Amino acid sequence: MVVEVDKRVWQADGEQKGAAVKEMFSEIAPTYDLLNSLLSFNLHHRWRRKAVATLKLPPGGAVLDLCCGTGDFLPPLRRAVGPEGALVGVDFCGPMLERAHKKDPMATLLLADAKAVPLASSVFDGLAVGWGLRNVDDLDRALSECFRVLKPGGRFACLDMARPRGPLGPMAESAFHIVTPILGRLFGRAEAYTYLPKSAARFATREELGHKLESAGFREVRWRDFFLGNVCLHTGVKP
C-alpha cells in the first residue's frame, strides 16, 4: 500500500492518490453496493435514471460507463440502448469490475485507467460517470478522455458528491460528515467512509467542475442538485 489510511488517503495526490484509491476500492468492493444503498436511502438508482435520461441515448447506441465500479449504472444504460446497444464499462479496480459483470453480462468491461481510456476517439453517443471523477488523480486528463471518446453531439453526465448549499446546507454537510464514517465503522470500513466526505469537501465545486468541463471542450454545461445538494449531476455536450 502506497499511502496508509492513517496518513490520510484523502490528502494524497497524483500517483499516490491513484494507488491508494485503487487499494481502498479493492477492500470495500464486497460491501460497496450495500453501503451505497444505505447512505443514499437507495435513492441513487433514481438519480442514475435521471442522469441516463439526460444522455438521450438512441436505441442501439453506444455508451461508456467510466469508473463503472460494481456497475450500478449498467442496467439503466442498458434499458436506454437496448439489447443491440454497445455498453462498455471501464474501471481500474479489478474487484469492483468483477461485480459489474453480474449487473450486465452483455456489457464489455475493461480494466483501465480513466486517464488513458484504451478506446478509439469519437465512438460513444453518451458517457456516464458516477461518483468516479472525484477519485481520479488527474481530473483534467479524465475529462479530456471523456471528451475524446464521445462522438460530436455525444452527451456527458456525471453524478458525484457536492457540498450542500442553501439554508439546510450546513446541517446536511455536518450530517454527511458524522453519519458516513459511523456507518462505515459498523461495517469495518471506517477509513473508506471517512474518505468519502473528506474527498467530497476537497473536490471541485459545482462551478469549478462546470468550468473544467468547458475547458475540456464541452458545451451546454449544466448542473442540478439532489439530496439537499449533497449530490450533483453535471451534464454537457460535445459540439
Q: Where do contacts with ligand SAM occur on this chain (CB under 6 A)?
A: 18, 21-22, 25, 36, 67-69, 72-73, 91-93, 96, 113-115, 130-132, 135-136
**Smallest separation (angstroms) from ligand SAM to the CB of 125:** 19
Q: Hey, is 163 helix, strand or coil? A: coil
| C-beta closer to ligand SAM: residue 116 or 171 | 116
The 8-class DSSP code of residue 136 comes to: -
Helix, coil or strand: residue 123:
coil
Pick 25 or 226: Cβ nearer ligand SAM: 25
Residue 107 or 168: which CB sits closer to ligand SAM? 107
Closest contact distance (angstroms) between CB of 59 and ligand SAM is 23
Q: How far is the CB of 238 from ligand SAM (least distance, A)?
A: 20
Q: Are 125 and 88 in contact (CB under 8 A)?
A: no
- Based on CB atoms, which residue is closest to ligand SAM, 72 or 173? 72
- Shortest distance in whole angstroms from residue 25 CB to ligand SAM: 4
C-alpha span between 234 and 161 (Å, rounded): 11
Cell numbers that stand for 239 in this block: 459540439
Angle, alpha carbons 88-26-120 (nearest 5°)? 25
Closest to 163 (Cα-Cα) out of 91, 223, 237, 235: 223
